[in-house]
């Protein structure tokens, strides 16, 4: 870690990185705000506001796992926690950053449940990206692929989560099935998503653009 990946920026693939988030990172996304430039675009303003709201909720939930010492800031630490308590519930956050972007581009709060499944509590991208003020794409898709990869590496049977009115079309497109207020990624599809990662020992994980 961090994992190198390609993000589409103005129809060109540019370099970004995916890594485990720290408490400082979570506090940073908590400060996101909706741009005033979206005032005349209510649909995009709604999407940007939802990204900000999810970032706030993720920060609030993170405090619980921080205080209970069940929060992992690395894959190795997550494995240690699971080994010490096979039926424990543990949380970790992922973040996407780039040298050419001043803030965190996207984040996800993930939970390993007591029965060894992976639940996506929250997955969101920067409000300027979700509000389409910036021509940046594929951040959410690559986070979903990375989550599937980590779930497979942990030996989890499935990934699941809740879908909002705005995020349901995203999951429906990525998974190829009808999605309402929840989604479920079974073992076979989990493997397919994880296989979207091109492992390179020199570069780390390189997530292809689709």
Q: H/E/C letters for each residue in the chain?
A: CCEEEEEEECCEEEEEEEEECCHHHHHHHHCCCCCHHHCCCHHHHHHHHHHHHHHHHHHHHHHHHHHCCCEECCHHHHHHHHHHCCCCCEEEEEEEECCCCCCCCEEEEEEECCCCCEEEEEEEECHHHHCCCCCEECHHHHHHHHHHHHHHHHCCCCEEEECCCCCHHHHHHHHCCCCCCEEEECHHHHHHHHCCCEEECCCEEEECCC
State which residues form the domain around 63. 3-140
Q: What is the pLDDT of residue 210?
A: 35
Q: How confident is the model at residue 197 (pLDDT cuts 50, 70, 90)?
A: low
In a domain, 23, yes or no: yes
Q: Let me know if residue 188 belongs to a domain.
A: no
pLDDT at 22: 92
Q: Is residue 131 assigned to a domain?
A: yes
How many domains, the chain?
A: 1
What is the predicted pLDDT for the residue at 13?
A: 87
Q: pLDDT value at position 126?
A: 97
What pLDDT digit, counting tens, does each position of 50-80 carry? 999 999 999 999 999 999 999 999 999 999 9
The answer to whether 117 touches 160, Cβ cutoff 8 Å, is yes
pLDDT, tens digit (0-9, with 9 covering 90-100), for 110-158 = 999 999 999 999 999 999 999 999 999 989 988 999 899 999 999 999 9
Q: What is the pTM of this model?
A: 0.87
174-203 burial, b at 16+ Cβ within 10 Å, e below that, comes to: bbeeebeeebebeeebbeebbebbeeeeee
Is there a domain that residue 183 lies in? no
Residue 9 lies in a domain: yes
In this structure, the dihedral spanned by the alpha carbons of residues 26, 27, 29 and 30, taken in order and rounded to 10 degrees, is 120
The answer to whether residue 165 is domain-embedded is: no
100 located within any domain: yes
């Amino acid at each position: 870690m961090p994992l190198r990946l390609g993000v589409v920026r103005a129809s060109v693939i540019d370099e970004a990185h995916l890594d485990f988030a720290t408490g400082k990172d979570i506090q940073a996304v908590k400060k996101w705000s909706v741009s005033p430039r979206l005032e005349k675009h209510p649909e995009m303003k709604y999407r940007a506001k939802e990204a900000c709201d999810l970032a706030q909720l993720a920060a609030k939930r993170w405090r619980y796992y921080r205080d209970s010492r069940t929060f992992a800031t690395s894959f190795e630490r997550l494995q240690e926690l699971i080994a010490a308590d096979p039926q424990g519930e543990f949380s970790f956050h992922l973040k996407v950053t780039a040298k050419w972007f001043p803030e965190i581009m996207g984040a996800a709060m993930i939970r390993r449940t007591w029965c060894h499944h992976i639940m996506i509590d929250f997955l969101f991208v920067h409000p300027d990206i979700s509000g389409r003020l910036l021509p940046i794409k594929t951040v959410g898709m690559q986070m979903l692929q990375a989550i599937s990869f980590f779930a497979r590496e942990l030996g989890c049977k499935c990934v699941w989560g809740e879908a909002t009115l705005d995020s349901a079309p995203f999951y429906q497109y990525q998974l190829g099935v009808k999605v309402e207020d929840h989604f479920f990624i079974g073992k076979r599809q989990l493997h397919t998503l994880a296989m979207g990662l091109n492992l390179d020992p020199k570069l780390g994980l390189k997530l292809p653009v689709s």
